[in-house]
Structure 1
Amino acid sequence: MTEGAIQPSVCRPGALGLRVTLAITLMSSLMLSACDVKTPAADAWGRVVELRDDTDMWPKGKPMGGWWVTPIHATLLPSGQVLITGWSRRDHSDCEEESGTRKNGVTFLLDPAKLTGNSSNVVPVDEQGSHASDVLYCAGHGPLADGRVLFSGGARYERLGKLGESELGLNYARLYNPADNSFMRVGKTMTGGPDREEGIRWYPTNTRLAGSNVLVTGGFTRYGGSTFGNLSIELFDYQRLDAGKNPWHLIVSHRDGLPDMTPETLDYTHVYLLPSPLPPVRGNGFGRQVAMLGGSGKVLLFNYTDELSRRDRFMAPLNGQRGARGDGSTGALLSSGEILVLGGADSPITGQRADFYDPQTDTWKSVNTNIGRIHAASVLLPDGTVLILNGDGRPDFVGDRRRPQTIDPVTHMVTSLPAWPDDPFERGYHNFALLLKDGRVLLGGGKDSEQSKVGCERPDVRIYTPGYLSKGPRPSLVEVLEPVKMTVGGQEVSFHYTNGPIRSGHGVVLMALGSTTHSFDQNQRYIALDFHVPVAGTVKVTPPANYFLAPAGDYILFILSDLGVPSEGKHVRLD
């Protein structure tokens, strides 16, 4: 922590007896709390590292020192490297002139361990677009069960950076293979969408399901907001693709989709696989395995497993309305099973609110974070808390958005930490934050609050070290050959460790590989595992009981000391 920085503060319901009650339609009154002061946490910040592309991928017009690269999409790989997609441009900050705006869609690998200087040169990967102007910007993305990364849709540009620029969606998907750092196009196109725009998706959401399928939800067909929303939902099955069959299966047509699932602005629908699906008795006669929230702020529960009509696939819970819109909010599925919805553009009060929805009881709770944020990032941490970073706001929004905050998913306590040092600027729209394999957090990109133009986001990244790494000795998993194989519902797996003891509750956890952009992570997941310690230095871990708790695929396993210090993570392949 920087010397002389302000102390962290803690927000808890009724901490000072000061409460603000909001009357909200279809909800009980929400109690917003004040804050008190807590002992500072010893978190730390790495340097700001600027990204450049000095390769010959795009030699025409390349500036001295290489293109400036803005990171927007980020996916953690099992190796610990990060797959990043964004834009490159000629100038660092002069984005008003035609020649200074975004020029090249760029995807590259970033090794966090090598972020030691003030700049880092990136090496672009061929994105395998079917057209020269096709980019992965604003695609849906997330890992598959076999380790590849699915990118659904994306953008095609006409007159990029010029007067009359148009942004269109794409009707095909691409697969990234970490084994050889390459992309391939999926031969069969997507199918859902409006008439004469079938399959076209921009801003769709990818959600890994309990099986080999990925749910691809919504998005837009082109720039213009919800008027051009794609209300269809389809499944992608990589096993069918590998067998030479059509991997796409439309389960909700555009005509049968619901407008409430679509963001009002250029954003992603927040979609979650529920760890405990609602049984038919509480799901209007059908099980509900998925929750989603769009721009209206209304939670929808969804059934993807049965052959049902549109009317039966969707369920609108009686109290599912947040009481504020969802535009510009961030969200996460918490370890408690609740869904966090934080901030947003609806109002200054909404901007500083953290709302918690319980799909099992159809109830909401709320706390005041005392920092108003639009387009924040939320990151699940291995100690079970959720980290809130970044965001922008309007002049009537309160608080310093450079300050990280953590939220306890059980008590809903909010802890505000010191602002990042040596950098007066925010990270607004198009920022990201991602949990790394070593327990630190990578953040980057985002519009500076003084810059309003999309395409002029910050061309840099930096690493944040949460305070939990300074609480005491760090436990270590030793003699581990990665990837560790686990089977859902299978036998215990033994690990050897040093620097115990392991904390008794939530001491061994699996963290799904984050895949984040635009304030929403399409793949992060926290799973606490049962374990026991037969002898000091050995822990036996019970795999997850079912695929709703933990879909098959790659995870990072952490053990935590009795002080809450996480080990460095180890790659686990869950079958």
Structure 2
Amino acid sequence: MSRFVLPVLPLVAAATALPASAATGDITEMLLIGRSAGQCAAVVAGGTTPGTPVTQWTCWGTAGQVFDARAAGGGYTIVDRNGKLCLAVKGGPKTTGAAVTVETCAGTKDQVWAPIGRGGDDVSLKNAASGLCLAVGATGRQDGDPLVQMPCEASATQTFVTAPRKGTSSWSGILPTPMPAVASTVLPNGKVLLWSARNRFKFGYGEIGRTYTAVFDPVTGKAGERVVSNTNHEMFCPGIATLADGRVLVNGGSSSFATSLYDPKTNAWSKGAAMNVPRGYQADTVLGSGDVFTLGGSWSGDLGHRMGEVWNATSGWRLLPKVDGDDFAGNDPGGIFRADNHMWLFGWGTKDVFHAGPAAAMHWIDTTGDGAVKSAGKRGADPYSINGSVVMYDAYRLLKAGGAPGYESGDGTTAAYTIDFSGGPTKPVRVTRQKPMLFPRAFSNAVVLPSGEVVVIGGRFSASTSSDANAIMVPELWSPATKTFTRLEAMYVPRHYHSSAVLLTDGRIFVGGGGVCGTCVNHPDAQILTPPYLFAADGGPAVRPVVTKSQTAAVRGATLKVTTDRAVAKFALVRMGASTHTINNDQRRVPLTIAAKSGTSYTLTVPADPGLMVGGNWLLFALDAKGVPSVGKVVRIR
């Protein structure tokens, strides 16, 4: 799963050597992604006529955006797979700003581009005839900005990364939903509960007391709508938690004090205890005790000082006066209204919470008594990254990807880090920078697969809540083995602000929503992504192992007995979480140890740690030696 980069050929003296790469020779089916705006080199309108200009455009991986790089003349010719024409500065003029076009491939110097290393996998491309570099002209940030040649410099407009096709992935068609899936969660029956606001496409402030919801069936592609009013709660922009007893807790949002509970056993909503502090855009996480911690949320109620609270099934909400949301807020240009939103919170043990961001400073929170806070250091060199995405891909190990310096301002980042907080409050948190994503993203979603890989989906190049412009259409797959990102097939509909994504029981990913913010284009639809691990090497469907028998419940620290239809290599549990506004704090994957084996019957060890094995519904997956997963079996951990 390594990303292939253009190897720098030693015959070109001007080229700077890149780090060693597994790639040698020609590179096929690649996108050429500009670092200035995360857009792709594109032959205008997919044209096949010599002389057609090349611009940058939103990456779709469609005709005119897919190229082959072929070693030639001390560099590479870059050939458009659609028109079989070569990227060129026709005639090799040394004129600054001369247009880049596609021309009939002739092997001339004006069609040869030599990579210059810019760090990591980034390169500039120097034209062998002119000695000038490929650059994005005009603003360098918009669809249609031309590709030109300019004097070589280490600028974003002259920096590119190659993204060859690796493996197979695919999307379903566009599946209508009654409203945009602003929030979603997978139910034990495999269906997806989703909801929007007081109206299908419009939210409001104040206590109107209703929410449009639906249950989507990924098998039939159909969804049944329901308006929930019995809890007197507009559940727009709330906190969400999936409880130890299988219910879904929704708190705050437009109805800023309210709490609602959904029971998948009865398909019923009920009213929960009111919070002590009004809040919206806050985040929740379930503790090892089964209680729920919430923090932040100045979008609703007064600005600032959104103290932490803990929900208990018996006693309701308890305020933590010594846990002030302002102390966890980032330096957002929008002030505290935005700075204490969408925090990354993960339970540890029965009572502690690890705060990973989006602020650069991380913390430990003790939820007993009045609460207590202590520093966990900074997230490496990573600054405030609001609307980034974080997921637990392994036991107490997080992948953080993307984010922006302002909720509604600034550009998304490609920065990715792993965060290891397995040592708990008494040990240092280990933060490790990863190779960057291919695309800058704000408002993306991240979903962990049973393999431990993470899919990062959607987002925008620039942080804005009101437009589909600059949407990132190509998902990426991060591998914990190679620590790199590779591209997947582009989706059909932009998914960014007010979208959600969750892992389905069959190992595919539901992605939906977007809109519901006044001037937004609404997207009342969904698509389902089939990841590469469900395809064979020839591009056909992979043969999947089958879990033929499994316990439906397991106790922490005990064993779990499973039988499969063939030999498998690994098992993993993935907790069924809930997604909204880039956050899915309850989502986590835990690999299981095989304690004993007899034929195709396995005894698995369930970790005893209640902070890791948070009670509730998990999906048990068996994976074969090639990493192909079974369909997940629902197991209640308690």
Give the TM interval when normalised to the shorter protein.
0.7 to 0.9
Please tell me whether residue 233 in structure 1 is matched to residue 308 in structure 2.
yes
Q: Distance in 2 between matches of 1:391 and 1:256?
A: 26
- Retained in 2: the 8 A contact 1:125–1:182? no
1:7-26 to structure 2, matched below 5 A, reads: 18-19=118-119
1:142-541 to structure 2, matched below 5 A, reads: 142-156=241-255, 170-186=256-272, 188-191=273-276, 199-220=277-298, 222=300, 228-238=303-313, 240=314, 246-252=315-321, 258-260=327-329, 264=338, 267-274=341-348, 289-305=352-368, 307=369, 313-320=372-379, 322-335=381-394, 337-346=396-405, 351-359=413-421, 360-394=428-462, 401-420=472-491, 423=492, 425-447=493-515, 453=518, 456-471=521-536, 472-480=542-550, 484-490=552-558, 492-498=559-565, 500-503=566-569, 507-532=570-595, 534-541=597-604
What displacement does 1:341 show?
Answer: 2.3
Inter-CA distance 37–150: structure 2 relative to 1 (3 Å threshold): closer
- Retained in 2: the 8 A contact 1:16–1:35? no
SS of structure 1 residue aligned to 2:579: strand
Bigger Rg, structure 1 or 2? 2
SS of structure 1 residue aligned to 2:260: strand
Q: Distance in 2 between matches of 1:8 and 1:527?
A: 39
SS of structure 2 residue aligned to 1:110: strand
Q: Which amino acid aligns with 2:344?
A: H
What displacement does 1:142 show?
Answer: 1.7
In the alignment, which residue of structure 2 is the partner of 1:45? 171
SS of structure 2 residue aligned to 1:473: coil
Q: Which amino acid aligns with 2:240?
A: H
What displacement does 1:139 show?
Answer: 1.5
Please tell me whether residue 109 in structure 1 is matched to residue 215 in structure 2.
yes
The 10-residue stretch of structure 1 (104-113 or 549-558) with the greater mean CA deviation from structure 2: 104-113
What displacement does 1:366 show?
Answer: 3.4
Inter-CA distance 399–84: structure 2 relative to 1 (3 Å threshold): closer
For structure 1, the 5+ residue unaligned runs are 10-14, 22-32, 53-68, 157-169, 192-198, 241-245, 278-286
Q: Which has the higher relative contact order, 1 or 2, with Cα contacts under 8 A spaced 6 or more apart?
A: 1
Q: Distance in 2 between matches of 1:138 and 1:50?
A: 22
SS of structure 1 residue aligned to 2:533: helix
What displacement does 1:44 show?
Answer: 1.3
Q: Distance in 1 between matches of 2:68 and 2:354?
A: 33
Inter-CA distance 121–399: structure 2 relative to 1 (3 Å threshold): closer
For residues 164-198 of structure 1, the C-alpha deviation after alignment (integer angstroms, 9 at most, x for no partner) is xxxxxx21311111121111112x4222xxxxxxx
Inter-CA distance 104–252: structure 2 relative to 1 (3 Å threshold): closer
- Retained in 2: the 8 A contact 1:19–1:34? no
- Retained in 2: the 8 A contact 1:301–1:316? yes
What displacement does 1:337 show?
Answer: 3.2
In the alignment, which residue of structure 1 is the partner of 2:230? 128
Inter-CA distance 302–176: structure 2 relative to 1 (3 Å threshold): same
Inter-CA distance 87–249: structure 2 relative to 1 (3 Å threshold): closer
SS of structure 1 residue aligned to 2:534: helix
For residues 47-100 of structure 1, the C-alpha deviation after alignment (integer angstroms, 9 at most, x for no partner) is 101223xxxxxxxxxxxxxxxx12100011111111111148688xxx9xx9xx
In the alignment, which residue of structure 2 is the partner of 1:283? none
SS of structure 2 residue aligned to 1:258: helix
Percent identity over paired residues: 23
What displacement does 1:37 show?
Answer: 5.5
Inter-CA distance 34–563: structure 2 relative to 1 (3 Å threshold): farther
Q: Distance in 2 between matches of 1:511 and 1:438?
A: 12
What displacement does 1:560 show?
Answer: 0.3
Q: Which amino acid aligns with 2:265?
A: A
For residues 122-143 of structure 1, the C-alpha deviation after alignment (integer angstroms, 9 at most, x for no partner) is 220524233xxx4111111121
In the alignment, which residue of structure 2 is the partner of 1:27? none
In the alignment, which residue of structure 1 is the partner of 2:101? none
SS of structure 2 residue aligned to 1:317: strand
What displacement does 1:551 show?
Answer: 1.0
Q: Distance in 1 between matches of 2:463 and 2:225?
A: 39
Q: Which amino acid aligns with 2:604?
A: V
Inter-CA distance 44–561: structure 2 relative to 1 (3 Å threshold): same
SS of structure 1 residue aligned to 2:181: strand
What displacement does 1:400 show?
Answer: 7.0
Inter-CA distance 259–493: structure 2 relative to 1 (3 Å threshold): closer
Give the TM-score, by structure 1 length. 0.73
- Retained in 2: the 8 A contact 1:214–1:236? yes
What displacement does 1:522 show?
Answer: 2.7
Q: Distance in 1 between matches of 2:617 and 2:62?
A: 39
Inter-CA distance 171–39: structure 2 relative to 1 (3 Å threshold): closer
- Retained in 2: the 8 A contact 1:7–1:37? no
For residues 517-556 of structure 1, the C-alpha deviation after alignment (integer angstroms, 9 at most, x for no partner) is 0011131010111115523221221122221221111111
Inter-CA distance 573–89: structure 2 relative to 1 (3 Å threshold): closer
